[in-house]
Structure 1
Amino acid sequence: MLKVMIVEDELPILGLMERVIQENKHLSIIGGYTNPAEALDHFLSKKPDVVFLDIEMPKMNGLDLAEKMLKVNENIQIVFTTAYQQYALDAFKVHAVDYLLKPITPEAINRITNRLIKTHNLLMGKPENADENERVSIYCFGTFEVRTTSGSVIKWPTKKTEELLAYFLMNSNQTISKWKLVDLFWSDMDESRAIHNLHNTIYLLKKALKENGILILIEKLNDGYLLKKDQEVFFDVEELRNYAQKYLEVTIENVKESERIFSLYKGILFGVKDSFWCLNFREELLGHYTRLTRNLVTYYIKIRSIHQAEQKLMKYLIIYPLHEEMNLILLKLYATYYDDFNRLQKHYNQYEKLLNEELDVSTPLEAQQVLRKYIQK
């Protein structure tokens, strides 16, 4: 996975770029900056593989910033973003990999990603067709998909096969009774037929895993089944769980890892692939993600990187726009640290409208008080 830094002086565009780039499984954002000087200060410590640079920025434009970064790391890959095509020639004079015209789209990012990976592999002395993370990957946040070492998404023989695998993964290293599986997935059938369907689905699942070279085993133990996976298999849920057990707060030592884990959460567990049995898991993982967001915001406020704190809150609210605590923290951020009534009023109005339309309720009292106190001040 390539480490990406973004420099864009307009905050809304920066937020949009971060959301678009995060959709690509081969790219991981390690920093987003509206201030070119701040980006340059963090360049050496962050050690990005790729930098997306806006060309038109005040004080230091993207071309100047690229030249300074190349002096620090001549192997850095630069991708310029611009609203004006006439900058293309200037972009290539500083050895840019490519330039993208705004607005940046997922298609544009996907188009250049293969080239970025190939160039990175060559610079690192890897074979041209080697991916940096040649391993099986399992993604459950915002979707459910299993990707082979080549990056292709596995198509399952039946929906039940896919759902059964998802259930096993959420209960990894636990023996699950066949009777529990029958009750969960075939409760509308008589016992003999349900058992037959279970055996057949297990068979199809094992066959699909083996054919696609997936290092996941499903062992039969007495009257139950146990899923075991190779340690080299990437599993986003496991990454978040392990992080939550290891860290209670965000510090300068673990902020990079905290950002990586934060970027993995791209939406509700399994997305639209809804199952009643996953409700408790959704609550568990939402709790981890909420705590991580809160800790990141606290950390960035502490080091006075207020725009980073704002970005974390905005990303969270894209997924959970009605979350009361995060909306309140963002309102307080605008009132206290930005001292910006326009931002405060705009977000308050959006929140108020959403609550009215979705839940037919009024804005929480604490949120009303934040706005009222600012107006009185």
Structure 2
Amino acid sequence: MKVLLVDDEPLALIGLRMALDGEFDDMEIVAAYSNPTEVIAGAMEHAPDVVFLDIHMPEIDGLKLARQLQAIIQGIEIVFITSYDQYAIRAFELYALDYIMKPVERHRLLQTVMRVKEKLNWKGSMKPPKSDSSWICCFDRIRFRHPGMESQTVKWRTSRAQELFAYLLLHRNRTVSRSTLLELLWPDIEETNTVQHLYTEIYHVRQTLKRYKLDMISIQSGEREAGYRLDIGEARVDTEAWEQAVKQLGQLDASTVDAYERTLHAYEGRYLGQYEYIWAEHERERLRLIWLYNMTRLSEFYEQHGMQDKAIKVNRRVQDLYPEEESCYFALMKLYDAVGSKIEVEEQYLLLQSRLGSELELPIGAHIVRWYEQWKLITA
């Protein structure tokens, strides 16, 4: 895998290079640039598979540079590095593979590199999906679905078997070490006392897959190290298919808006949202940001074209799934004001006060308070 690094801070660039060099033998860093004006020429020369790119650089906007890279090198993957949280959502306009917050932490970098490898391996082995494929559903909770049938909520023998399968599924097609799984499932017990328990949970997972007629999914022992690898065969994962569908939507206009509606409506809730798995939080947040970003675009499109009723429906959907998302309340307040519904504006503000202030003990954004106070003066 050929890698190109871009960061206008020389020390940060050196640190990232050392971190990658020290961890991954199969990764070749073909070039590293602290001067962003040299990046395009370097990319054309080296044709990297992935670029680790700082978003916030004084001489050039990292997002603009990413667009240029994607235009000249087909299939290039982008990983953004940023010190500023607000850039994370903007990054998904380009459908970056991932983003990392500074300072870069080792475990987070390892997670990202594994994701890059999985994506590149997936591209290399990608086959057209079969219409009769079985599905593993991960929106909200784990479910299995066979062709022509309703999805089934899975009944696991134990909660550890469920978490074991979910973890292996997220890290599928690569061996997860036995020590990692033992630490995940039995963090407070010595490894020597839990190995047999792991064998038992692996057996439970295999039996569950067999019971649900998912024999194409296999758990294999690691060949080079003590661990396990999940292979889902020709089964498909709904969250992965959904993300690919979003990436293929293209420009949002009158000819694609219906496709945007259908695809975004297929987002059924948080990734493994019913399970409090800390290790799933990054994937959960990443998919949430992709959805929120595109729902915001859809709402703005409807508003610009005078379809406030549809924009309201979009924001109501966001509110239903993420009642803590402040922006949808503000969007609804302005939309209801535009259609002359004073009661609804008041209701949204009171609802925001209740959910953020009383339930979450968070302050309402100052810009929302200012808007509401000015609106009250105008409409009094």
Query: Quick check: TM above 0.5?
Result: yes
Question: Deviation digits for residues 164-209 of structure 1, max 9, x if unmatched?
Answer: 1111222233332222112111222322332222222222212321
Structure 1 segment 118-267 matched on structure 2, within 5 A? 135-149=133-147, 150-151=149-150, 152-214=152-214, 215-222=216-223, 223=225, 224-231=227-234, 233-247=235-249, 250-267=252-269
Q: Residues 175 and 228 of structure 2 are in contact (CA less than 8 Å); yes or no, is this contact kept in structure 1?
A: yes
Taking structure 1 as reference, are residues 303 and 226 closer, same or farther at Cα in structure 2, changes over 3 Å only? farther
TM-score by length of 1: 0.58
Q: Secondary structure at the match of 1:138?
A: strand
Task: In structure 2, give the amino acid aligned to 1:282.
Answer: R
Task: In structure 1, give the amino acid aligned to 2:199.
Answer: H
Farther off after superposition, 365-374 or 243-252: 243-252
* Equivalence for 1:295: 297
* Equivalence for 2:373: 372
Task: In structure 1, give the amino acid aligned to 2:163.
Answer: E
Distance 2:161 2:256 in 1: 38
Farther off after superposition, 145-154 or 265-274: 145-154
What is the aligned length? 243
Task: In structure 2, give the amino acid aligned to 1:375.
Answer: K
Task: In structure 1, give the amino acid aligned to 2:185.
Answer: F
* Equivalence for 2:318: 316
* Equivalence for 1:353: 354
Distance 1:312 1:230 in 2: 36
Farther off after superposition, 285-294 or 167-176: 167-176
Report 1 or 2 for greater relative contact order, CA contacts < 8 Å, sequence distance ≥ 6.
1
Q: Structure 1: 5+ residue runs without aligned partners? A: 1-132
Distance 2:354 2:211 in 1: 51
State the identity %: 23
Distance 1:228 1:139 in 2: 16
Distance 1:246 1:171 in 2: 24
Distance 1:250 1:366 in 2: 28
Q: Residues 240 and 288 of structure 1 are in contact (CA less than 8 Å); yes or no, is this contact kept in structure 2?
A: no
Q: Residues 137 and 147 of structure 1 are in contact (CA less than 8 Å); yes or no, is this contact kept in structure 2?
A: yes
Q: Structure 2: 5+ residue runs without aligned partners? A: 1-130
Q: Residues 148 and 212 of structure 1 are in contact (CA less than 8 Å); yes or no, is this contact kept in structure 2?
A: no
- Deviation of 1:316 (Å): 0.9
Taking structure 1 as reference, are residues 204 and 253 closer, same or farther at Cα in structure 2, changes over 3 Å only? farther
Distance 1:251 1:234 in 2: 29
- Deviation of 1:361 (Å): 4.3
* Equivalence for 2:112: none
Q: Residues 142 and 153 of structure 2 are in contact (CA less than 8 Å); yes or no, is this contact kept in structure 1?
A: no
Farther off after superposition, 177-186 or 358-367: 358-367
Task: In structure 2, give the amino acid aligned to 1:266.
Answer: E
Q: Secondary structure at the match of 1:352?
A: helix
Taking structure 1 as reference, are residues 300 and 169 closer, same or farther at Cα in structure 2, changes over 3 Å only? farther
Q: Secondary structure at the match of 1:218?
A: strand
Q: What do you get for the CA RMSD once the two structures are aligned?
A: 2.5
Q: Residues 144 and 271 of structure 1 are in contact (CA less than 8 Å); yes or no, is this contact kept in structure 2?
A: no
Q: Residues 236 and 264 of structure 1 are in contact (CA less than 8 Å); yes or no, is this contact kept in structure 2?
A: no
- Deviation of 1:356 (Å): 2.6
